[in-house]
């Protein structure tokens, strides 16, 4: 094939992207992957996106298509997944899921080959699960470098509790083979956090460790910020789902303590944007703080972004885990507003690492109402101005920073500098 390293400096490289979700969907997977693709496209790269969608056939997207009516990712109902796990057991249910994912991977690979023959492709980006299957099948035994992206632990069975059974849970052999294959075949592996990198390296071949990078998600463009509260109600906003994994009672108990000892309810408003307003209001009522809370319905991304930018501080709540390896998309977008963040999260977490290193917020242990109350005190005091002025956190997630790091990977894994065999793809 044409020398990809030369093409990076003279002719735009052609890239096939396999992703589970893409625009116009607004789930977190779609948001981060769509932003990355758009950033690479703006940098002059030619992109063919093959996402999974509901219906019979995967649909491809390219840089010139109108994706306002584009593909949508079909996610089975949570109750159905829970029923199958109860009926079959987690390990057997996960193995059964692999059969479906493998079929999707084959169909996505075939779609990509029709859109852009492998002989004309310079790089492949794949985002987890059946997308790695598709990448391996599409690349075959060719010399196309695969960059494997791991936005979350895969498979979900090994995710930290309460999302999965943890790293010591049983893992079906079919997934062990897939992890071994993509671990060996991929020219490079990208993780959004150092903690997730360490977590997944427990399952990938040892040889993969030297071919990894930590590149965070890209933040969206946020509207102009409103100035801090001055003579008006101080507003803290949370956007997105919380239940059932996150312990909102800890936050509401901390809020109750703060209101009882520090600040009248009329001087503080905590807004929750999302579809779970009824359940959250009931939880707030049990703690006697519903009068200080506002529950707004789910809204379009742009409208939500305006609410975030008009708030005085932002709230993120994580599940109670011994270690959180995740980089929540909402945290990345929060950083883009440069508003102070109250992070109710585990002490051992990606969010804690970022705040400790770059500032921009206050960490409260997700098991401690007292720390939540103290964190609210910091945000509502004059100290919040110092937090807001910290600009190092948002600089991690800019389009320029992310695209630059991916461009460096493309240069590094070009075929002339890569000697990794991809014969293992035939085993998947």
The verdict on 106 and 251 lying in the same domain is no
Q: Give a yes or no: residue 227 inside a domain.
A: no
Q: Give a yes or no: residue 38 inside a domain.
A: yes
pLDDT tens digits, residue range 362-419?
A: 999 999 999 999 999 999 885 555 455 555 899 999 999 999 999 999 999 987 544 4
Q: Give a yes or no: residue 408 inside a domain.
A: yes
Alpha carbons within 13 A on the beta-carbon side of 398: 10
Q: Give a yes or no: residue 166 inside a domain.
A: yes
pLDDT of 25 reads 85
Q: What is the DSSP letter of 274?
A: S
* Cβ-based neighbour number of residue 203 at 10 Å: 18
Please state, in angstroms and rounded to a whole number, the distance separating the CA atoms of residues 334 and 394. 8
pLDDT of 227 reads 61
pLDDT of 301 reads 82
Token duo for residue 46: 């030619």
pLDDT tens digits, residue range 325-347?
A: 999 999 999 999 989 999 999 99
Please state, in angstroms and rounded to a whole number, the distance separating the CA atoms of residues 81 and 195. 27
The verdict on 261 and 211 lying in the same domain is no
Q: Give a yes or no: residue 64 inside a domain.
A: yes
Please state, in angstroms and rounded to a whole number, the distance separating the CA atoms of residues 185 and 100. 22
pLDDT tens digits, residue range 284-316?
A: 999 999 999 999 999 988 899 999 999 999 999
The verdict on 334 and 412 lying in the same domain is no
Q: Which long-range contacts (CB under 8 A, 24 or more apart) does 53-57 make?
A: 57/107, 57/111
Please state, in angstroms and rounded to a whole number, the distance separating the CA atoms of residues 58 and 21. 11
pLDDT of 391 reads 55
The verdict on 200 and 324 lying in the same domain is no
Task: Write the burial class of residue 359 (CB in 10 Å: 0-12 exposed, 13-18 middle, 19+ buried).
Answer: middle
* Residues paired with 315 in a beta bridge: 342
Is the model's pLDDT at 71 over the cut of 60?
Answer: no
**Cα–Cα–Cα angle for 200, 205, 206, rounded to 5 degrees:** 95
pLDDT of 259 reads 95
| Alpha helical stretches, state H, 168-290 | 173-185, 194-200, 248-261, 277-286
pLDDT tens digits, residue range 158-209?
A: 999 999 999 998 888 999 999 999 999 999 999 999 999 999 999 999 999 9
Token duo for residue 213: 């990078």
pLDDT of 221 reads 83
What is the rounded average pLDDT for all residues in the chain?
84
The verdict on 138 and 207 lying in the same domain is yes
CATH number assigned to the domain comprising residue 167: 3.40.50.2000
- Domain span at residue 323 reads 234-396
The verdict on 144 and 291 lying in the same domain is no
pLDDT tens digits, residue range 110-167?
A: 999 999 999 999 999 999 888 999 999 999 978 899 999 999 999 988 999 999 999 9
- How confident is residue 24, by pLDDT bands cut at 50, 70 and 90? confident
Please state, in angstroms and rounded to a whole number, the distance separating the CA atoms of residues 68 and 66. 6
Q: Of 67-81, 244-258, 276-290, which range is least confident?
A: 67-81
The candidate with the shortest Cα–Cα distance to 339, out of 294, 378, 388, is 388
Overall number of domains in the chain: 2
The verdict on 294 and 308 lying in the same domain is yes
Q: Give a yes or no: residue 228 inside a domain.
A: no
Is the model's pLDDT at 80 over the cut of 90?
Answer: no
The verdict on 22 and 164 lying in the same domain is yes
Is the model's pLDDT at 74 over the cut of 50?
Answer: no
The verdict on 62 and 89 lying in the same domain is yes
Please state, in angstroms and rounded to a whole number, the distance separating the CA atoms of residues 201 and 222. 34
pLDDT of 96 reads 77
The verdict on 162 and 239 lying in the same domain is no
Q: Give a yes or no: residue 225 inside a domain.
A: no
The verdict on 382 and 251 lying in the same domain is yes
Q: Give a yes or no: residue 224 inside a domain.
A: no
pLDDT tens digits, residue range 82-121?
A: 554 555 556 667 777 788 889 989 999 999 999 999 999 9
Longest dimension (CA), the chain: 69
The verdict on 363 and 403 lying in the same domain is no
Please tell me the pTM assigned to this model: 0.86
pLDDT of 225 reads 67
pLDDT of 123 reads 97
pLDDT of 377 reads 93
């Amino acid at each position: 094939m044409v020398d990809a390293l030369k093409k990076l400096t003279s002719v735009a490289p052609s890239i096939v992207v396999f992703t589970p979700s893409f625009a116009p969907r607004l789930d977190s997977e779609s948001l981060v992957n769509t932003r990355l693709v758009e950033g690479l496209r703006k940098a002059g790269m030619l992109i063919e996106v093959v996402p999974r969608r509901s219906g019979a056939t995967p649909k491809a997207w390219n840089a010139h298509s109108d994706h306002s009516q584009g593909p949508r990712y079909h996610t089975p109902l949570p109750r159905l997944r829970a029923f199958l796990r109860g009926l079959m057991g987690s390990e057997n249910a996960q193995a059964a899921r692999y059969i479906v994912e493998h079929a999707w991977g084959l169909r996505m690979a075939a779609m990509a080959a029709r859109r852009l023959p492998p002989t004309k492709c310079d790089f492949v980006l794949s985002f987890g699960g059946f997308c790695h299957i598709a990448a391996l099948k599409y690349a075959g035994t060719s010399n196309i470098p695969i960059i494997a992206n791991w936005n979350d632990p895969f498979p979900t069975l090994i995710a930290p509790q309460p999302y999965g059974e943890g790293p010591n849970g049983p893992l079906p052999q079919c997934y062990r083979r897939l992890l071994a294959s993509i671990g060996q075949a991929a020219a490079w592996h990208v993780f959004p956090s150092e903690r997730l990198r360490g977590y997944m390296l427990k399952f990938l071949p040892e040889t993969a460790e030297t071919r990894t990078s930590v590149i965070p998600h890209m933040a969206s463009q946020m509207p102009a910020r409103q100035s801090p509260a001055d003579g008006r109600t101080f507003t803290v906003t949370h956007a997105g789902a919380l239940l059932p994994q996150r312990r909102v009672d800890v936050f509401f108990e901390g809020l109750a303590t703060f209101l009882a000892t520090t600040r009248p309810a009329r001087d503080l408003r905590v807004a929750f944007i999302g579809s779970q307003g009824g359940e959250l209001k009931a939880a707030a009522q049990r703690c006697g703080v519903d009068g200080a809370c506002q529950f707004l319905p789910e809204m379009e991304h742009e409208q939500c972004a305006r609410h975030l930018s008009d708030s005085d501080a932002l709230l993120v709540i994580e599940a109670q885990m011994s270690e959180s390896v995740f980089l929540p998309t909402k945290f990345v977008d929060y950083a883009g507003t440069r508003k102070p963040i109250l992070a109710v999260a585990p002490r051992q977490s990606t969010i804690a690492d970022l705040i400790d290193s770059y500032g921009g917020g206050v960490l409260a242990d997700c098991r401690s109402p007292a720390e939540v109350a103290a964190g609210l005190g910091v945000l509502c005091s004059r100290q919040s101005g110092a937090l807001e002025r910290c600009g190092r956190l948002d600089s991690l997630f800019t389009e320029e920073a992310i695209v630059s790091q991916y461009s460096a990977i493309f240069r590094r894994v070009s075929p002339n500098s890569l000697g990794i065999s991809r014969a293992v793809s035939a085993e998947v």
